[in-house]
């Protein structure tokens, strides 16, 4: 895989994916439920953001803020009594931003069955300094073939995010020029 030498485009030494990878676990209670009796999606999203934020802070060596959440997918409902595991790691880094991939797993707290994947998400974090200004982040160094795949997929998602933003801005400018907005 990628060696641990600094990125030639950066004076900051790279960090391998294992250096900031983390798991956050939480037992779901009645306080976490929605009107259907399952765990509210917002509760899961908060756990996802918390785990991803911890990973982003660890990787960048300081504060990092959520810039966007992409593709939050709920695959199965989570129920009261489920032990939820939120696994997160840095997939890709830019100059001041990072994509963090998150997998959400759930298992019954009192059973010895394997956890089932119940969700996934990709979040983009920006590293910030004490004044809230963007700051450089270390390059991520993929360790395994799976990490390399995640890095490449993250680059594709970044390209799509930028193209979508550019297309929306162009449409807004066109509509403004036509006096429509």
Q: What are 16-75's pLDDT values in tens digits?
A: 999 999 999 999 999 999 999 899 999 999 999 999 999 999 999 999 999 999 889 999
Please tell me the chain's helix, strand, coil percentages from 3-state DSSP, rounded to the nearest 5. 35, 35, 35
Six-digit token string for 94: 């830019």
pLDDT of residue 10: 60
Residue 9 pLDDT class (50, 70, 90 cuts)? low
Spatial distance between the Cα atoms of 18 and 12, rounded to a whole number of angstroms: 17
CB 127 within 8 A of CB 135: yes
CB 142 within 8 A of CB 148: yes
Six-digit token string for 64: 């990092």
pLDDT of residue 26: 97
| DSSP designation for 110 | T
Does residue 8 carry a pLDDT above 70?
no
Spatial distance between the Cα atoms of 3 and 85, rounded to a whole number of angstroms: 30
Average confidence (pLDDT) over 101-112:
95
User: Residue 67: which of 156, 128, 157, 130 has the closest Cα?
Assistant: 128
User: Residue 52: which of 115, 97, 106 has the closest Cα?
Assistant: 97
Give the CATH superfamily of 13-176.
Hotdog Thioesterase (3.10.129.10)
Cα-Cα-Cα-Cα torsion 17, 116, 152, 49, nearest 10 degrees, comes to -60
Residue 6 pLDDT class (50, 70, 90 cuts)? very low
For the chain, the domains span 13-176
Compute the Cα dihedral for 28, 34, 35, 38 and give only its sign: negative
* Residues β-bridged to residue 79: 38
Percent of the chain scoring above 70 in pLDDT:
94
């Amino acid at each position: 895989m990628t060696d641990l030498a600094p990125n030639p485009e950066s004076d900051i030494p790279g960090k391998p994916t294992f250096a900031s990878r983390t798991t956050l676990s939480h037992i779901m209670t009645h306080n976490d439920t929605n009107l259907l009796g399952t765990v509210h999606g917002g509760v899961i999203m908060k756990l996802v953001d918390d785990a991803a934020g911890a990973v982003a802070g660890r990787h960048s060596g300081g504060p990092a803020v959520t810039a966007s959440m992409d593709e939050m997918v709920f695959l199965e409902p989570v129920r009261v009594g489920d032990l939820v595991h939120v696994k997160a790691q840095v997939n890709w880094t830019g100059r001041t931003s990072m994509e963090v991939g998150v997998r959400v797993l759930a298992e019954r707290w009192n059973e010895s069955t394997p956890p089932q994947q119940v969700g996934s998400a990709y979040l983009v974090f920006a590293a910030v300094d004490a004044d809230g200004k963007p700051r450089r982040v270390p390059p991520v160094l993929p360790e395994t073939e799976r990490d390399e795949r995640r890095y490449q997929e993250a680059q594709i998602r970044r390209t799509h995010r930028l193209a979508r933003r550019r297309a929306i801005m162009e449409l807004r400018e066109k509509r403004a020029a036509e006096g429509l907005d």
